[in-house]
Structure 1
Amino acid sequence: MKLFYEDVNLQTFQAKKIDEGTDEQGRRYVVLDQTAFYPTGGGQPHDTGLLNQAPVYNVEEVDGAVRHYIEGTDPLLETVHGEVNWDRRFDHMQQHAGQHILSAAFENNFNLKTVSFHLGEEVCSVDLEAEQVSDEVLSMAERQANELVLENRPIETKWVSQEELKQYPLRKDVAVTDDIRLVIIPEADYNGCGGTHPTSTGQVGAINILHTEKQRGQTRVYFVCGKRVTRQLSEKHEVIQALTAKMSAPQEKLVDAADRLLDQNRQLEKTVEELKSQLLTFEAKQYQGDVVKEVFTDRPVAELQKLAKMIIAGPDQKTVLFVNETDDKLQLVCGRGAEVTTDMNKLIKSVLPLIDGRGGGKPDFAQGGGEKRMSAEAFLEACVANI
């Protein structure tokens, strides 16, 4: 017997053990003649708790039997005292009921159907049948959902037959034909559901939409309910307080302060790039001779590519071979001027096998890298020998 359907607020119970075993994954489980533990299903996670002080870490329904997966190896007595982790259960009840209310607000007022629901450990989400949902609609749906919470309407459950379903304006078709359980918020939501919910909307506490994202032609709406709203508010308050102190700006001016800081950062980055370019130009002029070869340590490859291109942009007979050494890799950048006939792409393909590397490019410029199987100096000399 599923006691959570008889009394959703039941936290402790007595039962008899009717089966005990180990599943194919080696997990120990117990089956009882009755239980208040909710098994995973309908988008709602399982309960946890204790059976005679043995921790219950998972609950699943397998072939009609509710399996309680327990820790430990001590024998379980025939008579079992069960205790449900109420904080976890009530949190799930708040989130699940909140989803019903929020989905009803989207559909009843904006014709936005919910196609899936996920109850996560930190946040929940619903996928709406729409590519885009405006901020205005999100705000209005959240406000209407919270108004329904404040009205403290009853949340009723009822077992009905297939024929009796016709009496109710269901939000979506039910997935079963027998043992149909409806969760009803009068004049707001009529939905087939096997999950656990509080007995009134007021127990949901509050509903807060966090953000949205596009999801394969649909819109995923992330939200929290009940105690999770308070937790989210507390976390955000801590962040805002820290930013207020760091940016020397009150909360209402944090966005403006952040915009100014980002503008300053962009200007600084632009200045740094200009100075780097000037330094590279100066550095390029220092290299003499037709073949420029050098080993670097932990130099950014993009920087070496830019330096090499500056060098070969001068005299047309220049050839550049740069090897960069990191903790575990060797990287090669090579280029040539217009009067040089060496194919840089063929050159790099001929030497990279020495370091089990990969790379390529064009006849006048190529790059690649691989494992540090030899010294950087030896690899550079191998490149020179292949010109």
Structure 2
Amino acid sequence: MAFWCQRDSYAREFTTTVVSCCPAELQTEGSNGKKEVLSGFQVVLEDTVLFPEGGGQPDDRGTINDISVLRVTRRGEQADHFTQTPLDPGSQVLVRVDWERRFDHMQQHSGQHLITAVADHLFKLKTTSWELGRFRSAIELDTPSMTAEQVAAIEQSVNEKIRDRLPVNVRELSLDDPEVEQVSGRGLPDDHAGPIRVVNIEGVDSNMCCGTHVSNLSDLQVIKILGTEKGKKNRTNLIFLSGNRVLKWMERSHGTEKALTALLKCGAEDHVEAVKKLQNSTKILQKNNLNLLRDLAVHIAHSLRNSPDWGGVVILHRKEGDSEFMNIIANEIGSEETLLFLTVGDEKGGGLFLLAGPPASVETLGPRVAEVLEGKGAGKKGRFQGKATKMSRRMEAQALLQDYISTQSAKE
């Protein structure tokens, strides 16, 4: 059975009847990136204008009587619509599709068919899989590499065919139709039911596919191939944009170009050179800064070593610094008789810490200091260092160390 969305990819709404509505759960990704399980209902309709995922194409979004449909999946000859509001079986409902999402998927999917056919025709490059991503799509080609000339030739050819306004039509064939053997495709899913859909780009390609497609290549507007990336199993991924995605990409690129022009105080043609100069200047400044920090660390180490307060627990905190800065101080002091507690970072935020001194004491106190600072760390041979998330609790860590030294002194 072909759904209404497959028979008419341009249909934006459709009236149908609810067949069943059963409690269900949907695993989804929340705004914080963590998996969430939503409780709701699996709704089956007599027919649907919402495409269930398949053929590399994601599922549609839309509404049933203004109730949001959060997922559409195919199960044999029926489509399951997940909603968080129940619908009465037997009731008539109006189904609407999120047209912007649907048309975008149509442009990318038909674009993939066109690129796949042209790559095969021009260079015998076979498509092994493809991915319709949120921002860009990728076609996996069975070749270890592609030349820039091949990529340019494919891009030129597909856009010529778009300008030729070639028709795209869909036919349905029965499984026992001899013509099925002549149609390209990567096989049918195990639970496939009903006739086989064949998407035909006039004079270019004929391919089995369950997805939604444009009716004419002119609806693709334009295809931009962004380049290639190394794929799995010695294959190459061809990255592309089709239709409205090209316009959005150009808009973003133009916005970035304008922002860089304002920041770098030069025209777009000089951006790369200007950034290179900034990178070189930054490297020199970082090197000079590192040398100064090293000199400062040595000076601080000598000052601490010669301080009248030397002994017991020696404490130092600086807002600026890094692990190397703290280790230089510890190396310069080089004492295993005194506990050295060094911290760097914002006192109201996170930072780094280092505890050095008698190995047995450091081994005991290191994890406890990390716990107080709500951080993590590791150590060996009289050193324990790590990251802290609550540098504001530094005084508590100092008190812990001083109590330990006092207890040890009392025992002696």
Q: With the length of structure 1 as denominator, give the TM-score of the two structures.
A: 0.82
User: Given that residues 96 and 195 in structure 1 are in contact (C-alpha distance below 8 angstroms), is that contact kept between their aligned partners in structure 2?
Assistant: yes
* Partner Cα distance (1:360, 1:52) in 2: 62
1:94 is matched with which residue? 107
RMSD: 3.4
**Structure 1 residue 15 and structure 2 residue 29: aligned?**
no
In 2 relative to 1, CA 134–321 (structure 1 residues): closer, same or farther, beyond 3 Å? farther
* Among candidates 352, 357, 373, match of residue 366 of structure 2: 352
Q: Which residue of 1 aligns with 2:73?
A: 60
Aligned: 1:296 with 2:316: yes
Contact residue 152 and residue 202 of structure 1 kept, 8 A: yes
Instruction: Report the Cα offset of residue 149 of structure 1.
Output: 1.9
Contact 1:58 1:69 in 2 (8 A): yes
What residue identity is the alignment partner of 1:51? I
Question: How big is the shift at 1:205?
Answer: 1.2
Shift of 1:212: 4.4
Aligned-partner SS, 1:195: coil
Overall identity of the aligned pairs, in %: 26
Q: 2:264 maps to which residue?
A: 247
- CA–CA distance in 2 between the matches of 1:244 and 1:118? 34
User: Shift of the alpha carbon at 1:185?
Assistant: 1.9
**What does residue 338 of structure 1 align with?**
none
Structure 2 unaligned blocks of 5 or more:
27-38
State the match for 2:285 in structure 1.
268
Displacement of 1:204 after TM fit? 1.0
> For residue 273 of structure 2, what is the aligned residue in structure 1?
256
SS at 2:239's partner residue? strand
Work out the CA distance in 2 between the residues paired with 1:63 and 1:182.
18
Q: 2:36 corresponds to which residue?
A: none
**Which has the higher mean CA deviation after the structures are superposed, 24-33 or 85-94?**
24-33
The equivalent of 1:197 in structure 2 is 213
Structure 1 residue ranges without an equivalent (≥5): 336-341
Deviation at 1:349, TM superposition (A): 2.1
Amino acid at match of 1:181: R
The letter for the 2-side match of 1:282 is H
Cα deviation, 1:42-81, whole Å, max 9, x if unaligned, reads 2212223333333333322224222233454575772333
State the 1:354 CA deviation: 4.0
Question: Post-superposition shift, 1:102?
Answer: 1.9
Q: 1:361 to 1:219 in 2, by over 3 A?
A: farther
Q: Whole-Å Cα distance in 2 between the matches of residues 244 and 51 of structure 1?
A: 47
Change (3 A) 1:80 1:370: closer
Which structure 2 residues correspond to residues 188-227 of structure 1 after superposition, within 5 A? 188-217=204-233, 218-227=235-244
Cα distance change of structure 1 residues 108 and 292 upon mapping to structure 2, 3 Å threshold: farther
Question: For residues 54 and 77 of structure 1, do their structure 2 counterparts lie closer, same or farther at Cα, with a shift above 3 Å needed?
Answer: farther
If the length of structure 2 is used for normalisation, what is the TM-score?
0.77
Comparing 317-326 with 230-239, greater Cα deviation is found at: 317-326
Give the letter for the 1:359 counterpart: A
Task: Map 1:322-341; keep pairs closer than 5 Å.
Answer: 322-325=340-343, 331-334=353-356
> How far off its partner does 1:353 sit?
5.0
Alpha-carbon deviation of 1:184? 2.0
Question: For residue 327 of structure 2, what is the aligned residue in structure 1?
Answer: 305
1:137 and 2:150 correspond:
yes
- CA–CA distance in structure 2, aligned partners of residues 292 and 107 of structure 1: 76
More divergent stretch after superposition (222-231 vs 148-157): 148-157
Change (3 A) 1:196 1:308: same
- Structure 1 position 307, deviation (Å): 1.8
* TM-fit CA distance, 1:182: 1.8
Amino acid at match of 1:348: V
Q: Choose which of 140, 146, 151 in structure 2 pairs with 1:127.
A: 140
CA distance in 1 between partners of 2:290 and 2:352 (Å):
26
Seen in structure 2, the aligned counterparts of structure 1 residues 24 and 86 have a Cα distance that, compared at 3 Å, is closer
SS of the residue corresponding to residue 43 of structure 1 reads coil
Would the alpha carbon gap of residues 134 and 270 (structure 1) be closer, same or farther in structure 2, given more than 3 Å must change? farther
CA deviation string 1:270-292 (max 9, x = no partner) = 12112222222332332435969
| Matched letter for residue 50 of structure 2 | F
Give the number of aligned pairs. 372
Structure 1 residue 259 displacement after superposition: 1.1
1:171, distance to aligned residue in structure 2 (A): 5.8
Q: Is the 8 A contact 2:59 2:72 kept in 1?
A: yes
1:231 Cα deviation after fit: 0.8
